[in-house]
């Protein structure tokens, strides 16, 4: 077993999904590879941190969210599948913005804990910036690369003033997903470039109602760094975007993208209610 193979098998291994002989192969490799031992330890520590952060986010507020809010959150809950299911569901198509409108009490709803944990983990994995498995400068090159990895062709978001720089397989909530890294192309010389990460995975649960506004959720990573997470869907596919751009810039970027695509509902007339709920990832 190589280090690259272990990286691909790390999450089912930690989830206890291996048969004894499969575990033996992994553990034999770990006995002679300090780098992979450190990688396993890192992942276990990250999981513990995310569990504590998600627990605190829910436990710190004791009020139950309204029924209408709970129903909205339920429609957006993330229940990702393994890469085999990613292969089954990924395909091209027009994108629809996700429906959940955020208000101040959403984190108190118990069933929203899984969604919040996924958001926290998405920020963590985006900011760690692990090496990309494939590096390219056009959406077509990255889509072609995934043709060898999944059963169905995927379509990357065509974000205005941003270009994809590469892709890799990642994980959210213990399940393997597609991660694509973008870099903004500033208009002005003194404007810094921004990194954007987009996670792609099968969507389950209730269908998205297209005439509602986009969701922008602010997640505080620490005292000096904040990231926004926005989610939209293409029928059975969910796209989750992570960036340190402000919510107005993100929504404008999505509006510009939507104008270039067919079948999307224009969100320009929608002003989503965004209630900022800082969630620290510090233990």
Of 101, 91, 74, 100, the C-alpha closest to 200 is 91
Model pLDDT, residue 196: 93
29 belongs to a structural domain: no
Number of domains in the chain: 1
Please provide residue 256's backbone torsions phi and psi, each rounded to the nearest 5 degrees: -60, -40
Provide the token pair at 137: 């400068």
Of 80, 90, 61, 83, the C-alpha closest to 121 is 80
pLDDT digits (tens, 9 = 90+) for 88-110: 444 333 333 333 333 333 333 33
Model pLDDT, residue 260: 67
Q: Could you give the 3-state DSSP secondary structure of residue 192?
A: coil
No. of helices (H) and no. of strands (E), the chain: 8, 8
18 belongs to a structural domain: no
More confident residue, 23 or 207: 23
223 belongs to a structural domain: yes
CB-neighbour burial class of residue 162 (10 A; exposed 0-12, middle 13-18, buried 19+)? buried
C-alpha to C-alpha distance for 12 and 30, rounded to whole angstroms:
15
Provide the token pair at 32: 């002679």
The pLDDT mean for the chain works out to 67
- What distance lies between CA 20 and its chain's CA centroid? 31
Task: State yes or no: pLDDT of 80 exceeds 50.
Answer: no
**C-alpha dihedral (145, 170, 12, 41), degrees to nearest 10:** 130
11 belongs to a structural domain: no
Instruction: List the single range of 7-21, 57-71, 150-164, 222-236 with lowest mean pLDDT.
Output: 57-71
For residues 87 and 150, is the Cβ–Cβ distance under 8 A?
A: yes
More confident residue, 65 or 191: 191
**The domain containing residue 164 runs over which residues?**
63-259
C-alpha to C-alpha distance for 184 and 166, rounded to whole angstroms:
13
Task: State yes or no: pLDDT of 182 exceeds 80.
Answer: yes
87 belongs to a structural domain: yes
Task: State yes or no: pLDDT of 158 exceeds 60.
Answer: yes
Model pLDDT, residue 281: 46
Task: Determine the straight-line distance between the first and last CA of the chain, rounded to whole angstroms.
Answer: 34
Q: Find all residues with CB under 8 Å of 271, minimum gap 6, and list them.
A: 213
pTM above 0.85, yes or no: no
46 belongs to a structural domain: no
Model pLDDT, residue 85: 44
Among left, alpha and beta (phi > 0; psi -120 to 50; other), residue 109 is: beta
Write a three-state SS string for 249-273: HHHHHHHHHHHCCCCCCCCCCCCCC
C-alpha to C-alpha distance for 201 and 207, rounded to whole angstroms:
15
7 belongs to a structural domain: no
47 belongs to a structural domain: no
């Amino acid at each position: 077993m190589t280090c690259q193979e272990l990286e691909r098998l790390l999450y089912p291994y930690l989830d206890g999904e291996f048969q004894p002989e499969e575990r033996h192969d992994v553990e034999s490799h770990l006995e002679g590879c300090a780098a992979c031992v450190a990688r396993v330890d890192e992942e276990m520590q990250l999981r513990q941190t995310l569990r504590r952060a998600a627990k605190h986010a829910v436990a710190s507020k004791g009020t139950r969210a309204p029924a209408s809010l709970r129903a909205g959150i339920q429609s957006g809950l993330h229940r990702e599948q393994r890469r085999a299911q990613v292969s089954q569901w990924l395909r091209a198509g027009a994108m629809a913005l996700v429906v959940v409108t955020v208000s101040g009490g959403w984190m108190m709803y118990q069933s929203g804990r899984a969604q919040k944990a996924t958001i926290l983990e998405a920020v963590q994995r985006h900011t760690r910036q692990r090496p990309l498995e494939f590096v390219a400068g056009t959406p077509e090159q990255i889509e072609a690369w995934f043709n060898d990895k999944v059963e169905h062709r995927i379509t990357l978001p065509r974000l205005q003033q941003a270009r994809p720089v590469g892709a890799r397989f990642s994980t959210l909530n213990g399940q393997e997903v597609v991660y694509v890294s973008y870099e903004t192309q500033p208009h002005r010389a003194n404007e810094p470039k921004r990194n954007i990460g987009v996670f792609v995975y099968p969507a389950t649960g209730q269908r998205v109602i297209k005439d509602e506004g986009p969701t922008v959720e602010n997640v505080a990573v620490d005292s000096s760094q904040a990231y926004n997470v926005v989610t939209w869907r293409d029928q059975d596919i969910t796209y989750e975007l992570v960036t340190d751009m402000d919510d107005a810039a993100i929504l404008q970027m999505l509006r510009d993208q939507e104008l270039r695509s067919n079948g999307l509902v224009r969100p320009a007339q929608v002003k989503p209610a965004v209630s900022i709920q800082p969630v620290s990832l510090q233990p």
